[in-house]
Amino acid sequence: MSKKVIVITGGSAGIGAALARLLGSQGHRLVLAARRERELHEVAHSSGYDAVAVVADVTNREDVFRLKDTAIQKCGRIDVWINNAGRGIVRPVLELTDDDVDQMMTINVKSVLYGMQAVIPHFQERGEGHLINVSSFLATIPWVSVRSAYIAAKAAVDVLTNVLRMDLAEKYPGIHVSLAIPAVVLTEFGQNVIGAPPPRPASVPPNAQTAEDVAAAIASLVDHPRSTLYTNPTSPALIRRYREDPDAFVQQMIRRP
């Protein structure tokens, strides 16, 4: 396994922090970005002696390009860029405000777009590189409809990722563009949503994954690039059921306790 220079956004908690610790333990050189300085430095400290912490707001284009420049300055190159930062919402479609939609698109879509536009020219110059955008299986299936604009934003991430892959495929075969798609993950993400967070379930949802589970799956994607990775092996069958008969799926969801 070759050692890589890997940039991870949203690196101060949850999946990003778990991924940083795992990849750091494997000997990769890490550049971690997040807004929360103390938490970010704690994760960097636990992810390898040479991990670089860059306090940045990835909804700001200048911050993202500064992150790219810092990574190249400190490490000489970037091999893998993981767009992981994001935030959810709890708001039904008919209650969404302009501000809700704008925030979801800025946090979840523009941050990814800025990362793509920052690092892909660097990959093109080198003729190789790997972009990983972290999405959600909710972008494919309305499992939790109250996430509304978050689901729409992640669907936009999926489309932009797939289109970019097509744009690069012929001229830059050495550049890999991947979607990592988690399902239910046991992190604080759900408690930090816009709107009132849902009450914590009395028991762990079936087939839920930990941040460490998802990190292990994404680490495997770093080692063996491919276009799409569902971190939870049960997700493809669930999505297939929905696509084959959406009406029956909706009725089943309505009847579930």
Q: How far apart are alpha carbons 69 and 47 in whole angstroms? A: 21
Look at residues 129, 216, 143, 231 and name the one whose alpha carbon lies nearest to residue 179. 231
What's the confidence (pLDDT) of residue 51? 97
- Over residues 29-53, mean pLDDT: 96
What token pair was written down for 70? 């810092």
Residue range 230-254: mean pLDDT, rounded:
89
- The pLDDT, as a whole number, for residue 187 is 77
Express each pLDDT in 207-236 by its tens digit.
788 999 999 999 999 999 999 999 999 999
DSSP string, 135-185: --GGGTS-SSGGGHHHHHHHHHHHHHHHHHHHHHHTT-TTEEEEEEE--SE
For residue 254, what pLDDT is reported?
78
Specify the pTM: 0.94
Segment 2-30 mean pLDDT: 96
Cα 57 off chain centre by: 15
Q: What is the pLDDT of residue 102?
A: 97
In this prediction, residue 252 carries a pLDDT of: 82
Helix (H, G, I), strand (E, B) or coil at 69: helix
Residue pLDDT, tens place only, 61-91: 999 999 999 999 999 999 999 999 999 999 9
Of the candidates 49, 114, 150, 172, the residue annotated as catalytic is 150
Confidence of residue 202 (pLDDT cuts 50, 70, 90): very low
At 29, is the secondary structure helix, strand, or coil?
strand
Indicate the SS3 state at residue 17: helix
Active site residue 150: yes
Mean residue pLDDT across the chain: 92
User: Which residues, other chains included, contact 73 with Cβ-Cβ below 8 Å and sequence gap of 6+?
Assistant: none
pLDDT at 203: 46
- By C-alpha distance, which of 107, 136, 141 is closest to 209? 136
Task: For residue 193, give both structure tokens.
Answer: 């949503």
Residue bearing tokens 């729409």: 152
List Cβ neighbours of 212 (8 Å cut-off, separation of 6 or more).
18, 22
| Beta-carbon contacts of residue 214 (< 8 Å; ≥ 6 apart) | 15, 18, 19, 180, 182, 185, 231
Residue pointed to by tokens 């493809």 = 236
Q: What domains lie within the chain, and their CATH numbers?
A: 5-255 (3.40.50.720)
Q: Which helix or strand (DSSP H or E) is residue 24 part of?
A: helix 14-25
Q: Using CB atoms within 10 A of its CB, is residue 251 exposed (0-12), middle (13-18) or buried (19+)? A: exposed
